[in-house]
């Protein structure tokens, strides 16, 4: 599954970069999303695979801090990129004549850079929170990676302020982008419903279908991880939900975009033939 995730997302990046017809804002954001998916999975899965092969389940303190930092960095970046892609679809459908003027290369690059720096600040907040914790001897994390919420439960020091910061960060980095996505699709749906022909409605909906599927998958599994950790006391259910969020979702994203997009399929075909 990890190899499929890396290869699938790499093929998306190669297809977008090698085909001049895909040098548009939508595919520019898609290639950045694929790079984020690779990084998101690579933060935890290789260590998990190494533990399975060596029968060693240990991780250093520094390695745990690195996992926490990059997990929040790439998780927040994916959330923000999905919100930016929703805005891109909003402009494409609601203001098609001004699309290339609004979504110019400078603005698109600025959106990605701003998303990265906001995610970097969020990751530094997580690093600061976890680094301030005090742990007793023989700490065992009931997970396959260093989950910040599990680390807070295992700390010997007072974690009330740390919990507030972590949950505030989660609401901010998850709730604000999701609100932007919902607002964008509310405007998109109302605009599509005003299109007189059914063919025009289908064409407009088809341009949003892949993105909407990825949004549902990302936020659906993310909320599943959150509710499984707060509602259920079963550690196994929390681990399974996290596997869906960290491993399955990044693996499925390339399939969603390639199977539902004719331009991506043709570009991928040319890339594969060139490699062969």
Residue 234: what pLDDT? 60
Q: What is the pLDDT of residues 170-194, one digit of tens each?
A: 888 888 999 999 999 999 888 888 8
Residue 42: what pLDDT? 93
User: Helix 105-131 and helix 25-42: axis angle, to 10°?
Assistant: 20
| E runs forming strands in the chain | none
Residue 181: what pLDDT? 93
Taking the CA atoms of 52, 55, 56 and 57 in sequence, report the sign of the dihedral they define.
positive
Q: What b/e readout covers 144-157, taking b as 16+ CB neighbours within 10 angstroms?
A: bbbbbbbbbeebee
Q: Which of 85, 84, 81 is nearest to 35 (CA)?
A: 81
d(CA 192, CA 60): 53
Could you please state the CATH topology (level 3) that the domain comprising 2-275 is classified under.
Answer: Rhopdopsin 7-helix transmembrane proteins (1.20.1070)
What percent of the chain shows pLDDT beyond 90?
A: 34
* Cβ atoms of 266 and 25 closer than 8 Å: no
- pTM value surpassing 0.95: no
Cα dist. 213→73, 128, 259 in Å? 22, 34, 12
Q: What is the pLDDT of residues 48-99, one digit of tens each?
A: 898 888 888 888 888 889 999 999 999 999 999 999 999 999 999 888 889 9
Long-range interactions of 21-28: CB distance < 8 A, separation 24+: 21/263, 21/267, 22/263, 22/264, 22/267, 25/88, 25/103, 25/108, 26/85, 26/88, 26/89, 26/92, 27/263, 27/264, 28/105, 28/108, 28/112
d(CA 262, CA 58): 45
Regions of the chain where pLDDT drops below 50? none
Residue 260: what pLDDT? 67
Long-range interactions of 177-184: CB distance < 8 A, separation 24+: 177/79, 177/80, 177/82, 177/83, 178/79, 178/83, 178/219, 180/83, 180/86, 180/87, 181/82, 181/83, 181/86, 181/215, 184/83, 184/86, 184/87, 184/89, 184/90
Residue 130: what pLDDT? 87
The tokens for 30 are 């898609």
Tokens 């899965």 -> residue: 45
d(CA 66, CA 4): 24
Residues found in the chain: 276
Cα dist. 12→4, 15, 21, 112, 263 in Å? 12, 5, 14, 18, 11
Tokens 């890339």 -> residue: 271
């Amino acid at each position: 599954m990890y190899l499929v995730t890396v290869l699938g997302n790499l093929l998306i990046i190669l297809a977008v970069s090698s085909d001049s017809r895909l040098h548009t804002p939508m595919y520019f954001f898609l290639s950045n999303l694929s790079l984020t998916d690779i990084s998101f999975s690579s933060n935890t899965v290789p260590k998990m695979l190494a533990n399975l092969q060596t029968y060693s389940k240990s991780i250093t303190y520094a390695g745990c801090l690195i996992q926490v930092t990059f997990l929040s960095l790439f998780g927040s970046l994916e959330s923000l990129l999905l919100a930016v892609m929703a805005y891109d679809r909003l402009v494409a459908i609601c203001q098609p004549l001004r699309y290339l003027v609004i979504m110019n290369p400078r603005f698109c690059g600025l959106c990605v850079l701003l998303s990265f720096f906001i995610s970097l600040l969020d990751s530094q907040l997580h690093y600061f929170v976890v680094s301030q914790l005090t742990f007793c001897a023989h700490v065992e994390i009931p997970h396959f990676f260093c989950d910040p919420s599990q680390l807070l439960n295992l700390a010997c020091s007072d974690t009330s302020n740390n919990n507030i910061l972590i949950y505030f960060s989660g609401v901010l980095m998850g709730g604000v982008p999701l609100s932007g996505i919902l607002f964008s699709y509310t405007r998109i749906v109302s605009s599509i419903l005003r299109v007189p022909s059914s063919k025009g409605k289908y064409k407009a909906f088809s341009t949003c279908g892949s993105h909407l599927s990825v949004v549902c998958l990302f936020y659906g599994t993310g909320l599943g991880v959150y509710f499984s950790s707060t509602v259920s006391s079963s550690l196994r259910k929390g681990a399974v939900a996290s596997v869906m969020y960290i491993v399955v979702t990044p693996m499925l994203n390339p399939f969603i975009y390639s199977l539902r997009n004719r331009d991506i399929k043709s570009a991928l075909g040319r890339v594969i033939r060139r490699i062969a």
